Amino acid sequence: MRTIDWSDDKNCIVFVDQTKLPLARHIVECGDVDALVEAIRSLSVRGAPALGAAGAFGIALAAQTSKAKSPMDLIQELEDAAEILRNTRPTAINLSWGVDSVLRKAKTGHSITHIRELALGEAKAIADEDVEICKKIGVNGAKLLEDGDVVLTHCNAGRMACVDWGTALGVVRSAIEGGKRIKVIATETRPLNQGSRITAWELLQDNIPVTLITDSMIGHVIKSGTVDKILVGADRIVEDAVFNKIGTYTLSVMAKEHKIPFYVAAPMSTFDFKKRASDVEIEERDPQELKYFGDEQIAPLGVKVYNPAFDATPMENVTAIITERGVFYPPLSFEELKELK
C-alpha cells in the first residue's frame, strides 16, 4: 500500500500512521479535514512529498464532505480549509503546493459536483505523479552512486516520506535495482527519530543494508572515512539554501570538511522561486518533544527548550540537487529552473 492514498470505497483518505512505526503498521481512514490537520501536526503523515499529497487530498476531502449549497460557498469553504492546512507545517513547501494545486483546479468547476470531481481527480493525479517523479529522481541520482558506496542519510526521505519509493532513499533503491551494492548509514534523527523508527525499518523491509547511528556520532563516523556520500531530502529549496530536517546543516559542514559529496534529492515542487533563506519560516515544535520520549519524561519539566524542526544548509555546501528533471550543480540559475517546474 502507498503511504497515503484515496479510498474510493470509503470515500476518504487512507494513510499509514507513521507515529506507530516500527512497532505497528497502522492504517488510518481519515474522512474529516480536522483529523487530517491533526495527523499532519502530529507527524502521522510527514515528509515533504507525502505532505504534498496530504494537502491535495485534504482539499479534495473538504470538497467531498462539504454541505455547501452553492459553488461559491463551496469554494469559500475550500479556501478556509486551504488556509488551515497550509499553516499546519509552514516550512515544508510541498504541503501548500499540494493544497494550492487542487484549489486552483477546483476553482475552474461550474457546479458542486464538478468541483468535487475536479478536486479529487487533481489530488489523485498528484499522488500518482509523485510516484513517477520519485522513480525519475531515483534513476537520475543512481548515476552518482558507485558500486560499493556507503551513503549516509538523515531523517527519512524514503517511501514513507513520499507516496511511494522515496527521494533520497529512492536514489539508493534505484542504484541497487541497477546492480550496485549500496550500504546506508541512518542517523537516529532526534527528537522524533524518523531515522531510527522509519528509515531503518523501511530499509530492512527491502533488505537494504543499514547501520543506525545517533546524530552525535556523525563527526566521528565521517572522519573515520567510512562514508562515501551524504544523501538527504529537502522540505524547501530556495536560491541560497536547502531547508531540511534539523541536523542537515551540520552534516553539510562535515561533508565539506571531509570532502565528501553532499547530495540533495527532491522533486521540482520543493523549489520555492519566491523566497530567499532569510524569508523562510522555520517550524518550531512543541517543547514536550524534548522533555518526553513517548510517555517517559527524560528532562526536567521546568527546563527551557528550543525545538526547531528544520535548518538551512547554504547552497555553497551542496554538491548537487537531484530532481526528476535532472541533476543541478550550484550555483543554480533559478531563472532557468523556474522554466522547468
Q: Binding residues for ligand MRU, per CB under 6 A? A: 43, 46-49, 155, 157, 161-162, 167, 194, 232-235, 244-245, 309
Nearer to ligand MRU, 48 or 210 (CB): 48
Closest CB to ligand MRU among residues 74, 161? 161
Nearest CB to ligand MRU, comparing residues 194 and 269: 194
- Give Cβ neighbours of residue 69 (< 8 Å, ≥ 6 apart): none
Minimum separation from the CB atom of position 127 to ligand MRU (A): 15
116: β partners: none
- 235 annotated active-site: yes
Q: How far is CA 117 from CA 112, 121, 252, 306, in A?
A: 9, 6, 44, 44
**Per-residue b/e over 260-296, b at no fewer than 16 CB within 10 Å?**
bbbbbbbbbbbbbeeeebeebebbebeeeebbeeeee
Task: Report residue 6: phi and psi, to 5°.
Answer: -110, 135
Which residue lies nearer to ligand MRU by CB, 109 or 170? 170
Residue nearest to ligand MRU (CB): 233
Three-class DSSP category at 109: coil
Question: Least Å distance between CB 84 and ligand MRU?
Answer: 18
C-alpha cell belonging to residue 24? 505497528
| Beta carbon of residue 99, minimum distance to ligand MRU (angstroms, whole number) | 16
Select 66 or 323, whichever has its Cβ closest to ligand MRU: 323
What minimum distance in Å lies between the beta carbon of 75 and ligand MRU? 29
The amino acid at 302? G
Q: Catalytic residue among 164, 235, 272, 311, which?
A: 235
Distances (CA, A) of 242 to 113, 114, 123, 277, 288: 40, 38, 26, 8, 27
The CB-of-192 to ligand MRU minimum distance in angstroms stands at 7
Q: Among all residues, which ones are annotated catalytic?
A: 235
